[in-house]
Amino acid sequence: MPMSSTMHHVRRLTEEIDNAAACLNASRAAICKEAGLSLQQWRALAVIDRSTIAMSISHLARRLHQARQSVHALVQGLERAGWVRLCPNQDDRRLLQLEITRDGKSILTIVEDDFRSWLLIMAFDLSEPALHKLILTLRSVRARVSRARDYAPPPRIRLRRIDANGQ
């Protein structure tokens, strides 16, 4: 059965959104690499810097949607680089909280400024009406994605294959 015209356009739209996100991610990764940090390190530094609460490794893991063990290793690398420090929590000295250091803030600012500059260069030749139309379109896409996130189905459970030996 042939795909309807609307479904074809919806599929094309979703592919273009996905492609645009991948291109933005690749550009940010390249900018991070040039500055000497990974995309994961940038994400962690950005979350820590923007947090309004005392950020623990567990909090950071939840915000990054990663396992605590993976984030623990990430934080250790950030600490070795001098970009974060682990400090005792004021309310419970047994807990450690993350603080971004001056060097961490500096590298984060460099990467974010470079990324914003890259975005400005990318859009410099657009007319004001074209920019306005693009802004409205992106806002609409962002709003739809945000709403869809609230009723997205849970991730599928991966089934493990069992071979002839029951393994």
Provide DSSP, 25-45.
HHHHHHHHHHHT--HHHHHHH
Measured in residues, the chain has a length of 167
The better pLDDT of the pair 5, 81 is held by 81
Pick the residue with more confidence: 65 or 2?
65
In this predicted model, what pLDDT tens digit does every residue of 40-88 receive, in sequence order? 999 999 999 999 888 899 999 999 999 999 999 999 999 999 999 998 8
Beta carbons of 60 and 75 less than 8 angstroms apart: yes
In this prediction, residues 14-33 reach a mean pLDDT of 93
Listed range (6-15, 35-44, 51-60, 149-158) with the worst mean pLDDT:
149-158
pLDDT at 54: 82
The answer, yes or no, to whether residue 143 has pLDDT greater than 60, is yes
Asked if 83 contacts 125 with a C-beta cutoff of 8 angstroms, the reply is no
Average pLDDT over residues 14-39: 93
pTM for the model stands at: 0.76
Greater model confidence, 144 or 32 = 32
Sequence-distant (≥ 6) Cβ neighbours of residue 87 within 8 angstroms: 96, 97, 98, 99
Q: Domain 11-138 class?
A: mainly alpha
What pLDDT digit, counting tens, does each position of 96-140 carry? 899 999 999 999 999 999 999 999 998 899 999 999 999 999 999
In this predicted structure, what is the pLDDT of residue 90? 76
Q: What are the backbone dihedrals phi and psi of residue 11, each rounded to the nearest 5 degrees, phi first?
A: -60, -40
Higher pLDDT, 112 or 157: 112
The confidence score (pLDDT) of residue 156 equals 62
DSSP of 43-91: HHHHHHHH-SSPBPHHHHHHHHTS-HHHHHHHHHHHHHHTSEEEEE-SS
d(CA 141, CA 148): 10
pLDDT the model gives residue 132: 94
